[in-house]
Structures are given as C-alpha cells and as structure tokens.
Amino acid sequence: MSRLKEIDPGDIISDLADYVDQYLIASANLEGPDNLFVPRCQVRGQLVELALKYYLAACEIYERGHDLNGLLRAAEAAGLAVRDYDRTHIVEELHKDYCTHPELGWSYFSRYPMPNRPTKVWITPGHQDVDAFVRRLMDQANAMKAGD
C-alpha cells in the first residue's frame, strides 16, 4: 500500500518558495574569494532550478528533472520574460557544470567528481547576478498568481 497522498498544487508552490528563499541565503553565504566552486555551482544551480520550477508551478506546469536549459525553455513558453544576459551568463553557464557540459561531455559535475578534470580557473555566476535573476523570475510568477 502506498503511503503517498495526492499533492496539493498550493503546497508545491509554497514549498518551492521556501526552498528558493533558503537557497538564496545559502548562495549569499558562499560568496567570496575562496575556492568553493563546486558548492557554489551546486547551490546556485539548485536555486535556479527551484526558481524555474516555482514559475512553472505558478503556471500549473509541473516539470521534473534538473535540465536548467530545458526548464528555462518551458518557462519562456509559458510566458516568462528573460533578459539575454540572464539566459547566457546565468542559466547556460550554470547548466554546463550543474547538468551537462557540452564541450567536455560531463554530466552533473557539481555533484560527482570527474576523473582527469582539467586544471583551470572555475567560475560560477556571482550571487548578486543570480539573486537578481531569481527575484525577477519570482516577481513574474507572483504577479501571474495574483492575476488568477
């Protein structure tokens, strides 16, 4: 017998909003010059994923998976307005190491160690840019919910 119950869409939206708030705080706490690329990428990738899922849930679209580019395409198809800078410098950049790096063929680099990782400077979008993008996304979702 399954212990799962039917999920209330209002609960999903509320839970996603709570998670986004917590990941915004975590992202801010990881800001700095130290060598924390992997946790920064993971937290900021998860933050953007949750924010996009929040927007989609506000549109009554419930997507699964971690593909930031795919989630962004679905959100844009549902009406999300995204600046080119946010698409290329936040979502696409995070997607490379959070999901799949197209040039290196890696999947989920920020979650799992990669053998023979090339030595280079790893940079993730800064918290201020990610924070501003997420807040714009959440504002659009909240405005859409208020219009219902």
Tell me what pLDDT residue 86 has: 95
CA distances from 76 to 72, 84, 97 (A): 6, 12, 22
Tell me what pLDDT residue 11 has: 85
Distance CA 139, CA 59 (A): 13
Helices 9-29 and 127-146 sit at what angle, rounded to 10 degrees?
160
Residue 107's DSSP bridge partners are: 100
Tell me what pLDDT residue 36 has: 79
Q: Is 133 helix (H, G, I), strand (E, B) or coil?
A: helix
Tell me what pLDDT residue 28 has: 94
Distance CA 88, CA 85 (A): 5
Q: Is 117 left (phi over 0), alpha (psi -120 to 50) or beta?
A: beta
| Full-model pTM | 0.84
Residue 106's DSSP bridge partners are: 101
Tell me what pLDDT residue 5 has: 44
Blockwise average pLDDT, block size 10, the chain, 148 residues: 51 93 95 79 94 95 92 97 95 86 71 63 80 94 82
Tell me what pLDDT residue 118 has: 58
Tell me what pLDDT residue 85 has: 95
Dihedral, CA atoms, 18, 21, 26, 27, nearest 10 degrees? 140
